Amino acid sequence: MDFQLVLDQINTELRPLLGTGGKVASYIPALARVSPLQFGIALRTCAGETAQAGDSAVPFSIQSMSKVFSLTLAIKALDEALWSRIGREPSGSPFNSLVQLETERGVPRNPFINAGAIAVADRLVSQADALPQLLRLLSGLCGEAVHVDAEVARSEADTGYRNAALANFMKGFGTLDNDVATVLDVYFHQCAIAMTCEQVACAAGYLCRDGQHPLAGPTVISATQTRRINALMLTCGTYDAAGEFAFRIGLPCKSGVGGGIVAVVPDRLTLCVWSPALDATGNSWLGRQALELFVAKTGLSVF
């Protein structure tokens, strides 16, 4: 299949729509300043073939896409033990919702809603070096140095009232072992990591390779652990739009409010799309259309 041709076609078809739908995330000031008139797409096959189009080399804030990689570290370290504090069910609620935590005794529904990702960050804080460990993982996976955007991290912390509420609430239930401020600091910084579509498509490569490193590196996680992360991405990776994503796209996906979405075609390739304007569920408005087009053009889907 000529993937470069497919991505060029998607870029040509969708670029005219830039500026006609969706809204850039406004609740974090540093994200509100990003121009919505950008669209990038990149993929990397299991065999290492790459293709890219549009603004695929422009760094953006990976936001909640970081939750896939922090979960990877936590699963690698704790395996089954991780699930005593974090559920595996879709929430059907917005990513920053507090409501389920009260009736479910401080156990977040899944590792991809904010509460779940904060609980994962707590597990990483209990080991040494949570943030450097995450940056090392990402840099190794894409073969280039990956950094935190300090301005976004500050902005995230300055406006993170709901995340602070979630963390304190979980601390009250004993879901977090560590100091709330320390855990939130890791969470805010992981959300503020900046990467390009090309870097993310490469970094996520182990998810289409049964946990094998996309470049020449050690095994990232086992094939079973990889399947589980893909299952969670399919069922919970796009929040209360997960059903719609499965229906229309049918691929494990993880989105972030920076406008990125990473998608996995198991045993074939990983794909990253980015366009900053979001739909009402917090997923990239054009990115979602790009994934739909990709599946329609290639027939690649898990279903």
| Residues belonging to the active site | 64, 67, 187, 239, 257
Residue 63: CB minimum distance to ligand DON, A = 3
Q: Is 110 annotated as a binding residue?
A: no
Question: Residues 72, 163, 196, 289: which binds ligand DON (CB under 6 A)?
Answer: 163
The site map against ligand DON for 194-223 (x = CB under 6 A) is: ------------------------------
Q: Is 163 annotated as a binding residue?
A: yes
Residues 78-137 close enough to bind ligand DON by CB under 6 A:
95-96, 114
Residue 241: CB minimum distance to ligand DON, A = 10
Long-range interactions of 245-251: CB distance < 8 A, separation 24+: 245/283, 245/288, 245/291, 248/288, 248/292, 249/288, 249/291, 249/292, 249/295, 249/301, 250/295, 250/301, 250/302, 250/303, 251/291, 251/295, 251/300, 251/301, 251/302
The answer to the question of residue 230 lying near ligand DON (CB under 6 A) is no
Alpha-carbon span 82 to 69, nearest angstrom: 15
Q: Nearest-CA neighbor of 142 among 96, 203, 67, 74? A: 203
Question: Residues 11, 63, 110, 230: which binds ligand DON (CB under 6 A)?
Answer: 63
The answer to the question of residue 64 lying near ligand DON (CB under 6 A) is yes
Question: Residues 55, 122, 149, 156: which binds ligand DON (CB under 6 A)?
Answer: 156
Question: Residues 18, 135, 191, 264: which binds ligand DON (CB under 6 A)?
Answer: 191
Residue 176: CB minimum distance to ligand DON, A = 16
Amino acid at 271: L
Q: Is 126 annotated as a binding residue?
A: no
CA distances from 60 to 31, 83, 152, 274, 299 (A): 9, 31, 10, 8, 28
Backbone phi and psi for residue 38, each to the nearest 5 degrees, phi listed first: -135, 145
Taking CB under 6 A as the binding criterion, the range among 175-183, 251-259, 265-273, 285-293 that sits at the site for ligand DON is 251-259
b vs e for 152-185, b when ≥16 Cβ sit within 10 Å of the residue's Cβ?
bbebbbeebebbeebbebbbeeebbebebeebbb
Instruction: By CB under 6 A, name the binding residues for ligand DON.
Output: 63-64, 95-96, 114, 156, 163, 191, 255-257, 282
Q: Which residues are annotated as a binding site for substrate?
A: 64, 114, 156, 163, 187, 239, 257
